[in-house]
Amino acid sequence: MTKIDSRIPEGPVAEKWTNYKAHQKLVNPANKRRLDIIVVGTGLAGASAAASLGEMGFKVFNFCIQDSPRRAHSIAAQGGINAAKNYQNDGDSVYRLFYDTVKGGDYRAREANVYRLAEVSNNIIDQCVAQGVPFAREYGGTLANRSFGGAQVSRTFYAKGQTGQQLLLGAYSALSRQVNAGTVKLYTRYEMEDVVIIDGRARGIIAKNLVTGKLERFAAHAVVIATGGYGNTYFLSTNAMACNCSAAMACYRKGAWFANPAYVQIHPTCIPVHGDKQSKLTLMSESLRNDGRIWVPKKLEDAKKLQEGTLQGKDIPEEDRDYYLERRYPAFGNLVPRDVASRAAKERCDKGYGVNNTGLAVFLDFSEAINRLGKDVVAQRYGNLFDMYEEITDVSPYENPMMIYPAIHYTMGGIWVDYELMTSIKGLFAIGECNFSDHGANRLGASALMQGLADGYFVLPYTIQNYLADQITVPRFSTDLPEFAAAEKAVQDKIDHLMNIKGKKSVDSIHKELGHIMWEYVGMGRTAEGLKTGLAKLKEIRKEFETNLFIPGSKEGMNVELDKAIRLNDFITMGELIAYDALNRNESCGGHFREEYQTEEGEAKRDDENFFYVACWEYQGSDDKAPVLLKEPLVYEAIKVQTRNYKS
């Protein structure tokens, strides 16, 4: 196996990023506008990066598949954003945030990147407050904090249950300022279809105008991908339906390594599946676990009555309730990390204690908090989340406990990047959820917004200059170059192929089949036998897609079904990549749970001797060929690698 050098600077972790501004190499200010940068994606990572790069004088081309960056999926983030401000004076620090993140990721994150993330976290809050983000405040006017899973301190800043939306509006305002100034050109309703490589460097993209259907060429000195994760491979997830992995897969097929695809996060607090007509699942913020208590009945007969609908949760007396997280993990209780909480919920439901008609739900109960704090205080903290739950389920959380169950949410795996966020292709950078670098095998709650803004505001704008420093004399590229023509032809040929299949199955029907296979064989619990079966079934799905796909309409103009078909082709490749990685990793860690590797108490059992590395997968020229594994050894200098313990 090839070993990878991640190009992390030498020296102790604490010295690696003590002053990020000192890390930059200055580009001649008079010539900055000669350097063009493409940023694909307008979520928190993409919008903040495009705004920052535009502010620094670069010419930025920013691409967005939505009709406005304000509709990027970052708006769906509810609970908050972490920062080590220690406003509560409860013992928080940069080191403690760093430690909690590495521990929460089950010691599979790259240590140096996580330390940098923790160190710039405080600057993010200052930046967002200056932009006017309306964070919740205490009575005296200071910024409020709350706790999240995997931490015993209050370090999460929030704006009710709509933190992502408010942060995105702040980033969007900064982006709009640069659009008005002329340093950023915004392309809405465009989707990247391929990356153009010239002499081993990323020099542009092929993008599809989603309104006209035309393919267009764009050239730049560097390309930044900020297009989110691959959770919709499972069809049902908390991601918006338009979220996809096509840009990442285009980079993968052009030679960018894909790291740790098996690390998929199952979020513990989602509204359960209620039928086979759903297109997505709804997230209930993890912040609810601050005051909400998770439980199932102690008696199987009570569970049966709940499943039959003859008993309600509020009617079960306190002594007959099993607060299983508090029982199993007394130190952290309901605030254990997401992977731990999700597996515990699945275990209770598998034993027959589920509380809805499918048996796949547990209770999240606020009765104790309402009695202790009063309904008005609870409504002030979580009112919009309670309203959303009632609108979907027709049940008031003030009167009855919520029903929740784990669902696919975030993906810790992603495009491999080095310490400066550059992929294995020179000039191609990946930021936010679409890279792998910060969360290991499990992401702590409220860390996604932190990583997106850290990458966009405080890391990429400086590290990309190290790459661009010797590009200052390189003239702009013509899109008439043969590399652009070849890339566009390849995309057009793929579209023509899909349109000419003329089968009988819709895109969504095949995607649903893919989702069932992924959840059943590559989901919360994985086995070697199940993964092999899943891989075989994924091959069958690919054959079905290639021979029986039906796309109505034509390739000209707007064709949503064609766009979905292109993405589904990439989801199938992504599904196989997840399965290959999960089959290779003969251990359990974080979001990757192999049932053969667990402790007597059902906890994840790591194998640090054989799997203490980042698994990087290299494309072999065809979707039909298995990828090749490369390894980046993990090196820890500041933290002792040990078994996670949330009991004491």
Given a cut of 60, whether residue 22 has pLDDT beyond it is no
Active site annotation includes 137: no
pLDDT band at 5 (very low <50, low <70, confident <90, very high): low
Res. 30 pLDDT band, cuts 50 70 90: very low
The reported pLDDT for the residue numbered 32 is 43
Over 70: is that where the pLDDT of 12 sits? Answer: no
Has residue 31 got a pLDDT over 60?
no
pLDDT at 485 (0 to 100)? 97
Q: Which residue has the higher pLDDT, 3 or 46?
A: 46
Three-state DSSP state, 616: strand
Is pLDDT larger for residue 601 or for residue 124?
124
What integer pLDDT is reported at residue 9 of this predicted model? 52
- Weakest-pLDDT range from 52-61, 71-80, 613-622: 71-80
**Which segment of 43-52, 152-161, 619-628 scores lowest on mean pLDDT?**
152-161
For the record, the structure tokens of 294 come out as: 């998770």
pLDDT of residue 277: 81
Q: How many CB atoms lie within 10 A of CB 206?
A: 23
What percentage of the chain exceeds 90 in pLDDT?
86
Cα(453)–Cα(46) distance, rounded to whole angstroms?
9
Q: How far is 510 from 578, CA to CA, in rounded Å?
A: 18
> What is the three-class DSSP state of 425?
coil
Q: At what angle do helices 44-55 and 460-468 cross, to 10 degrees?
A: 60
Residue type, 483: E
Q: Is the model more confident about 381 or about 436?
A: 436
Q: What is the mean pLDDT of residues 622-635?
A: 96
Give the mean pLDDT of the chain: 92
**Residue 455: DSSP 8-state:** I
Percent of the chain's residues with pLDDT above 70: 95
Span 232-280, pLDDT tens digits: 999 999 999 999 999 999 999 999 999 999 999 999 999 998 877 888 8
Distances (CA, A) of 236 to 80, 172, 349: 24, 28, 19
Q: How far apart are CA 306 and CA 205, in angstroms?
A: 54
Q: What is the mean pLDDT of residues 109-136?
A: 96
How confident is the model over 303-321, as a mean pLDDT?
94
Mean of the pLDDT values across residues 429-452? Answer: 95
Q: Could you tell me which of 617, 481, 498 has the C-alpha nearest to residue 196? A: 481
Summarize the confidence of residues 38-43 as an average pLDDT.
Answer: 97
- What is the distance between the alpha carbons of residues 622 and 577, in angstroms, rounded to a whole number? 13
The residue annotated as part of the active site, out of 338, 348, 526, 644, is: 338
Model confidence, pTM: 0.93
Token representation of residue 177: 């300022």
